[in-house]
Amino acid sequence: MAIEHAFDIGTPATAERVEAVLSSAVETGRLARPGHGSRVDRAGTVLGGGGHVSAYASPPLPFPDPMEEVFGFVPVVHVSFRISDPQSMPEHNHNMIVLLTAALSGVEGDAWFGANGEITYLTRIAGRITVDTDKTFWTPELVALLPQHDTAALENM
């Protein structure tokens, strides 16, 4: 069974900008599994530890967007992080947060990061990054990778 985390970003972000920032971070950090490219687009790439990352423009929904209802913005770019091997979670989570930090630093716009489309781990609203107080995901090692942020209990979707 695969575990999926997502990072959704609102305007003024563009898929091309997010893809470029993530691809650069994969290349610079040598995060791709040997034999895989560093390009993070819709097809994505495989990271060390076996996780997969892809980024693409979010299609409009045919109903009110839950992200807008809960957090006040409509996602225009979706980044998907998937892993199938629970044994590789520590390496996957490290690589994922390195890429999340690169996106937070290199791309403007409100943002949401979480799991399974409902559990909220981090938001950036009006430029302010807030990390959820739940310590089951946020180990001290992962928190240390993040840019400056606040901590608070965040609403789930």
- The verdict on residue 98 lying in a domain is yes
Confidence at residue 141, expressed as pLDDT on a 0 to 100 scale: 94
Contacting residues for 84 by C-beta, under 8 A, at least 6 apart: 1, 2, 3, 50
The answer on pLDDT for 1 being more than 70 is no
Per-residue pLDDT, averaged over 102-123, amounts to 95
Residues of the domain holding 83: 3-112
Confidence at residue 155, expressed as pLDDT on a 0 to 100 scale: 87
- The verdict on residue 27 lying in a domain is yes
The enclosing domain of 31 has a CATH number of 3.30.70
pLDDT per residue as tens digits for the range 36-85: 888 998 998 999 888 899 999 998 889 988 999 999 999 999 999 998 77
- E strand or H helix that includes residue 81: strand 77-83
pTM over 0.85: yes
The answer on pLDDT for 130 being more than 90 is yes
- The verdict on residue 29 lying in a domain is yes
Ranked by mean pLDDT, the top range of 29-38, 77-86, 106-115 is 106-115
Mean pLDDT for the chain overall:
92
Distance CA 138, CA 6 (A): 15
- The verdict on residue 147 lying in a domain is no
- The verdict on residue 125 lying in a domain is no
In the chain, the number of structural domains is: 1
- The verdict on residue 57 lying in a domain is yes
